Amino acid sequence: MPDHDVDLLVIGAGSGGVRAARIAAQHGANVLVAEEYRVGGTCVIRGCVPKKLLVYASRFAADFEDAAGYGWTVGKPTFDWATLIANKDLEIARLEAAYTAALERAGARLVKTRAVLEDPHTVRLATGRTVRARHILIATGSSPSNGPAIPAIDQVISSNEAFDLTELPRRILIQGGGYIAMEFANIFAGLGSKVTIVYRGENILRGFDDDVRAHLRSEMEKRGITIVCGRTVTAVARAGRAFTATLSDKSTADVDKVMFALGRPPNVAGLGLEAAGVRLAKNGGIAVDEFSQTSVPSIYAIGDVTNRVNLTPVAIREGHAFADSVFGGRPTPVDHTEVPTAVFSDPEVGAIGLTEAQACERLASVDIYKTSFRPMREHLAGGDSRTFMKLVVDGKTDRVVGCHIVGPDAAEMIQLVGIAVKMKATKADFDAVMAVHPTAAEELVTMREKAFSAKRQAAE
């Protein structure tokens, strides 16, 4: 009798778990996947996908307004939140079915239940059954932080609930300065809500280039979003169907909803990690090596639960690499450097590589090229929004080590710039490319004047 029931047990059918399970099964492994909620995980059910659908919905308002300058007469548009949410739910259900079918087609089996570790090879399912697995993959993702224990915290929503509100809040306060807070702020503002952002730091989007942070903030403020930095929400009190939020400076805001987007800790609680001997890293994620192997040789972990780079394509890449390494006979480490990323705010942000501050800290010589301009479409539309672009160049090698864009389609642009940056393209390579005219992206290959140049003295 074999000493294992399966070759691989995957805990969590999200972006990373589904990819790992499919590829491992295609390599011939006998795979079982345990999922406690819905197949597709955060990205499909309450993350990237529904978020992007809401982003699309929120941008029509500006399109209707801009159309007049181009000769269109549009009647007074009206918006129905319930229709949007119902259609979003249909699309999510379609995708969930597609993910489930893809797992089945690959030959992996799925059990809809919670799973926890008992030892390095045993997993207990909530159904009571235990499964012995040659390898275990933890792909349990992350969840919204609960936030501080302030009065009426139970009335505060996270991104999870924001996707399923029964009505559009007329006024919403969002606490948080990260990309999820920015995206929801712009979604609600685009749909007509009065939005206030409260963030304890000095400016939004910590970790992004400082010029990007300043530019996006000013663009969002132009759109009527109130951004309050250096403060926190200290209490929330119900006022009929609405709420009064009190801030750390004792000021108050009356709103219909309060949302916190304060980060996403890895889902490690109650997983049985101690029983199995799996160690955590300092940042609270499961500690893994470049092959996603944990401190226990038979147990691997991928995606948000490892708190490396918490993005869907990264979780997918890690899942694929795990399956190739363990079941495909092809050890595949994952490169977590220069990961392109986007914020689907309005305007969008696209970024890759070093910020100006990081480059100045790490490199002996740095050249900065930047530009800010009013995109062509704004002229007839009568808008005053501006696009910002910056290239960070290693002054010694001429390599483009960072690119930062704020403007329409920045996410699409940064995906392509990412190829050049990954290929170690130099500023001269960018300059050698003929511009595509008239586009906004042409600015990326036509920036000639250095905005800033810094050289550090060699260390004594």
| Residue span 144-173 as binding mask against ligand FAD, x where in contact by CB under 6 A, dash where not | ---------------x--------------
Joined together, the tokens standing for residue 404 give 């930062």
Q: How far apart are CB 88 and ligand FAD at their closest, in Å?
A: 13
Please pick, among 215, 336, 404, 437, the residue that the annotation labels catalytic: 437
Which is nearer to ligand FAD, 35 or 367 (by Cβ)?
A: 35
342 to 371: interface string for ligand FAD, x by CB under 6 A: ------------------------------
- Whether 4 is a known active-site residue: answer no
CB contact at 8 A, 45 and 22: no
Minimal CA–CA distance to 253: which of 232, 272, 230, 268? 232
Applying CB under 6 A, the site for ligand FAD has a residue count of: 35
* Mask for 258-287, x = binds ligand FAD (CB under 6 A): ---------x---x----------------
To the nearest whole angstrom, how small is the minimum distance from the Cβ of residue 367 to ligand FAD? 30
* CB-nearer residue toward ligand FAD: 204 or 359: 204
Q: Is 17 in the site for ligand FAD (CB under 6 A)?
A: yes
Asked whether position 108 contacts ligand FAD by CB under 6 A, the answer is no
| CB closer to ligand FAD, 277 vs 382 | 277
**Least distance from ligand FAD to the Cβ atom of residue 354, Å:** 20
Shortest reach from residue 315's CB to ligand FAD, in Å: 4
H-type alpha helices, 337-409 = 356-362, 376-381
CA–CA dist 35, 68 (Å, integer): 49
Binding piece for ligand FAD, criterion CB under 6 A, among 43-51, 252-260, 382-390, 422-430: 43-51
How, if at all, do strands 257-260 and 171-175 pair? parallel
Residue nearer to ligand FAD on the CB measure, 180 or 253: 180
Which residue, 140 or 381, is less far from ligand FAD as judged by CB? 140
Residue 457: CB partners within 8 Å, gap ≥ 6?
none
Omega before 151 within 30 of 0, i.e. cis: no
Q: Please report, as residue ranges, which positions from 110 to 139 form the binding site for ligand FAD (by CB under 6 A).
A: 114-116, 139
- In the sheet with 349-353, reading across from the earlier edge strand, the strands are 341-343, 349-353, 400-406, 387-394, 365-373, 452-455
Q: What is the C-alpha end-to-end distance of the chain, expressed in Å?
A: 68
Overall residue count recorded for the chain in this entry:
460
Rounded least distance, CB 292 to ligand FAD, Å: 11
Part in contact with ligand FAD (CB under 6 A); list of ranges 31-39, 59-67, 220-228, 326-334: 31-39
Q: Min. distance of Cβ 237 from ligand FAD in angstroms?
A: 27
| Helices 48-67, 179-191: inter-axial angle, 10-degree rounding | 40
What residues between 298 and 317 interact with ligand FAD by CB under 6 A?
Answer: 303-305, 310-313, 315
Among 6, 8, 10, 16, binds ligand FAD (CB under 6 A): 16
Categorise residue 208: left if φ over 0, alpha if ψ from -120 to 50, beta otherwise: beta
What the block records as the tokens of 328 is 């495909």
Instruction: Pull the structure tokens for residue 350.
Output: 């696209």
Q: Does 14 bind ligand FAD (CB under 6 A)?
A: yes
The DSSP-derived string for 145-204 is ------TTGGG-B-HHHHTT-SS--SEEEEE--SHHHHHHHHHHHHHT-EEEEEESSSSS
Taking CA atoms, 37 is separated from 42, 223, 449, in Å, by: 10, 37, 53
Phi, then psi, of 52 in degrees rounded to 5: -65, -35
Give yes or no for residue 293 binding ligand FAD (CB under 6 A).
no
Is 305 or 351 the residue whose CB approaches ligand FAD more closely? 305
User: Could you give the residue numbers annotated as active site?
Assistant: 437
Q: Which chain residues interact with ligand FAD by CB under 6 A?
A: 11-17, 34-37, 41-43, 47-48, 51, 114-116, 139-141, 159, 180, 267, 271, 303-305, 310-313, 315
